[in-house]
Amino acid sequence: MRIGEIAALVGVTSRAVRHYHHIGLLPEPARRANGYRAYTVRDAVLLARIRRLTEIGLSLDEVRDVLADDAGRELVEVLGELDADLARQEREIRERRRVLAALLEAPLTSEGPLSPGLAALLEGAPATGSPAAAKDREHLVLLDAAGGGAGGGAGAEVYAALRPLAEDPGVLELYGRLDELAGAGADDPRIAPLAADLAAAVPDDVLAVIPQGEPAATGVGRALLDDYPPAQREVVRRVMETLAERVQGRTS
């Protein structure tokens, strides 16, 4: 194969191939009598390996280290690994298409696209002008998007379990109490009773479908906490802590 042929086969540019030669990542192949490079299947496998590793975010120096570890492996072993990698990509593409199909079936809103499960949950929630309720809605949309927007698996189960709670008009009174703490300090005496009432309002059915390790005030949970003013943050922190204890008690 010539440089243009191997580049087209692997899905990179001839310029990229030359760059890999220049930095010593891809060894120079033997040349024909006319001076043209003559690439082999092993060259193509190595180039494909470089492309896969850079696509998943490795730097060229990191790619070099990985390739050094691969030195001396049998060609059939490397080909088998590449085939497994392609199979993984096929599965990921199928999953992404499933997610896309689910999004296309869901109602399109100004917040969307939403997963079908979250769209149904928000549609059934009573109308309210509560800023705290609006923030909860924003957080659900964010978590839905961060989870791929599919609403599948545990996400769909959580949304379904939340439906009775979201549709309960009594929840609006809890949001109202949370709104009243918008300008309060973290030592406000209303914090403890409100946190207890909010945690008590979450049904066991919801906890039963929460993935192991959630809720937790780490990672995304910490970022969401930082979105609240001091008193409200303390309420939400206590609710998350209480729910985590209930989840732990359910699984222990």
Which of these, 64, 149, 60, lies nearest to 100 by C-alpha position? 149
pLDDT tens, position by position, 94-143: 877 776 676 666 555 555 567 778 878 888 788 888 999 988 888 887 77
3-state secondary structure (DSSP) of residue 108? coil
Q: Which residues pair with 37 in a beta bridge?
A: 31
Among candidate residues 74, 78, 18, 22, the one with its CA nearest the CA of residue 48? 78
> pLDDT value at position 151?
45
Both tokens of residue 62?
Answer: 């990191």
**pLDDT digit string, tens, across residues 231-242:** 999 999 999 889
Q: What is the pLDDT of residue 175?
A: 93
d(CA 239, CA 198): 7
Rounded to an integer, what distance in angstroms lies between the CA atom of residue 27 and that of residue 70?
14
**Ranges of residues in the chain whose predicted pLDDT is under 50:** 149-154, 213-218
